[in-house]
Amino acid sequence: MSTLIAIRETSLSGKGGDYSPAKEKAANRGVYGGRSPLLRRLRLFLGGAKYKLLLLFCLLTSLCLLSSKISSFMGWNPHYPSSVSSPSRGGYTVLINTWKRNSLLKQSVAHYASCQGTDAIHVVWSENDPPSYKLRDYLKKVVLKKSQTAHKPNFRFDLNKEDNLNNRFKPIEDLRTDAIFSVDDDVIIPCRTLDFAFTVWQTAPLTMVGFVPRMHWLNEEKNGVVHYRYGGWWSVWWAGTYSMVLSKAAFFHKKYLELYTYKMPSSIQDYVSRKRNCEDIAMSLLVANATGAPPIWVKGKIYEIGSSGISSLNGHSDKRNKCLDDFVSLYGTMPLVSTNMKAEDARHAWFW
């Protein structure tokens, strides 16, 4: 380029001979080796494009690495083999915990039988008397009638000899799905919302995915011992943070039934059995201890059709505080991980 500029300057000033277009054209050929202007522009463009492509590649690589780190931190793994990777393991098993509320049980079974993703329905029965044949036959017919798929869900009562809250987490033989949806007999989740939560669980099958978030809070420290406080829904709403999703309406992997029954400290099971409370806190601690990751709260409609439960009794919050504190001392550490992330189906949300 410096040669070209010199030629033009001397030509225009008259020092290098008379200026003519022919001389300038000849000079241009000399400088660029006879290449046409079109080829010169193409070469300049490709030279700049290489740098742009390299920059774009580096940017995409950085974004991928950042995404994988965030996914790992949240316990999410989109490439984890899905529970519906083959037809034999598709859908989820609905595990309904009930206690002397047959009218609510009938409504619950009828509803979940109508959901597309339901592969099986198991009822955890812990009453002294087994379910009547009339109730069994009624529920079997309801399942066949309400199911909207060609493959009808399996239906079964899981009978227990004693009334124990640990019964709801006993291992189940012959399960065809990895996904368990644990739910109380008085909780109804609309099928569309439930199926969305199942797709969320498929992205993070080792964590709990549920509809009822709760939080642990640091209460005080005495003599080097840390004490915690159990935070209900209003504390979650106020702070926008949670560390548990209750098993009254939550997905988790079937392997946690084995871990709860055979690997979790037996002292925790004894505690739940003795106090008749806090099995849901125990399951949250178990999963958090196994994964080191927070649960995932799915925001959606939830209907509680029962009149009341143990949560409405006096002193319930104090008992939950005590449970949390005692369980943490048995673990020797606080395994719960807090988060402010939530999943919501944008197709049915007011704001996106």
Residue with tokens 């201890």: 289
Distance in angstroms (rounded) separating the CA atoms of residues 307 and 310:
11
Write the single-letter amino acid at 255. K
DSSP structural state of residue 215: E
Distance in angstroms (rounded) separating the CA atoms of residues 95 and 184:
8
Distance in angstroms (rounded) separating the CA atoms of residues 231 and 217:
7
Does 280 participate in catalysis according to the annotation? yes
Closest CA to 327 of 246, 242, 264: 264
Rounded to 5 degrees, what angle do the CA atoms 341, 219, 267 make?
85
Please report, for residues 3, 236, 278, 338, the alpha-carbon distance to residue 217 in angstroms, rounded to integers and kept in the order given.
76, 10, 17, 10
The DSSP secondary structure of 219-287, one letter per residue, reads EEEETTEEEEEEE-HHHHHHHT-BSEE-TTEEEEETHHHHIIIIIS-HHHHHHHHHHT--HHHHHHHHH
User: What contacts 24+ positions apart, CB below 8 Å, involve 269-274?
Assistant: 269/166, 271/323, 271/326, 271/327, 271/330, 272/164, 272/165, 272/166, 273/164, 273/165, 273/166
Q: Token digits for 238?
A: 């106020």
Write the single-letter amino acid at 182. S
User: Which residue is catalytic, options 174, 280, 326, 345?
Assistant: 280
Distance in angstroms (rounded) separating the CA atoms of residues 71 and 269:
32
β-pairing, 209-210 vs 296-298, is: parallel
Residue with tokens 């080796």: 33
Write the single-letter amino acid at 211. F
The residues annotated as belonging to the active site are: 280
